């Protein structure tokens, strides 16, 4: 009889674990379905210009990120161009997605150029491009990563 109670206890515990795991799987699946996506037009119109913007005390992102071997790589501008053409923009969109995890504020694209004091990554060779989270360019990048359209 004692073994039967023990076996029954194991069945109940196993059943509870299965139900709990099923709930977690359903919850995760529901969250995954609502995950934001990265919008190309927003990227082209608002994010790419951030890479071209000269900030005091820093070089433009495009200067280093077209020639370095960093995870964020941008397509070089055509000779004499001040921005990217359509084909280059689409290539940049693909390349930048390597460091932009949709819906995740901790994405490298968001934290890497942000000052460490503001929650950024201390290891950015180009320095902290954004002193704080109030910087409009940083807010543009963050908004895109979080799903702005």
Query: 22 with 52, same domain?
Result: no
Query: 25 with 44, same domain?
Result: no
**How many Cα atoms are found within 13 Å in the side-chain-facing hemisphere of 122?**
1
CB neighbour list of residue 143: distance below 8 Å, 6 or more residues apart: 42
| Domain that residue 22 falls in | 1-34
Q: How far is CA 65 from the centre of its chain?
A: 17
Q: How far apart are CA 54 and CA 40, in angstroms?
A: 23
Query: 10 with 66, same domain?
Result: no
What's the total number of domains in the chain? 2
The overall pTM is greater than 0.85: no
Query: 97 with 136, same domain?
Result: yes
pLDDT confidence tier of residue 26, bands split at 50, 70 and 90: very low
Query: 98 with 124, same domain?
Result: yes
Query: 53 with 23, same domain?
Result: no
Which of 72, 47, 16 minimizes the C-alpha distance to 142?
Answer: 47
User: Model confidence over 62-82: pLDDT tens digits?
Assistant: 999 999 889 999 999 999 999
In this predicted model, which residue has the larger pLDDT, 132 or 17? 132
Query: 30 with 50, same domain?
Result: no
User: What's the alpha-carbon Rg for the chain, to the nearest Å?
Assistant: 23
């Amino acid at each position: 009889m004692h073994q039967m109670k023990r076996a029954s206890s194991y069945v109940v515990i196993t059943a509870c674990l299965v139900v709990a795991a099923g709930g977690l799987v359903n919850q995760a699946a529901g969250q995954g379905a609502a995950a934001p996506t990265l919008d190309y037009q927003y990227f082209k119109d608002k994010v790419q210009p951030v890479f071209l913007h000269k900030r005091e005390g820093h070089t433009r992102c495009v200067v280093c990120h077209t020639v370095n071997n960093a995870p964020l790589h941008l397509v070089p501008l055509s000779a004499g161009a001040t921005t990217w053409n359509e084909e280059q923009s689409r290539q940049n969109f693909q390349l930048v997605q390597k460091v932009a995890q949709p819906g995740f504020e901790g994405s490298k694209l968001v934290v890497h150029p942000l000052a460490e004091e503001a929650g950024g990554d201390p290891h950015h060779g180009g320095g902290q491009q954004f002193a704080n989270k109030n910087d409009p360019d940083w807010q543009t990048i963050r908004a895109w990563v979080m799903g702005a359209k």
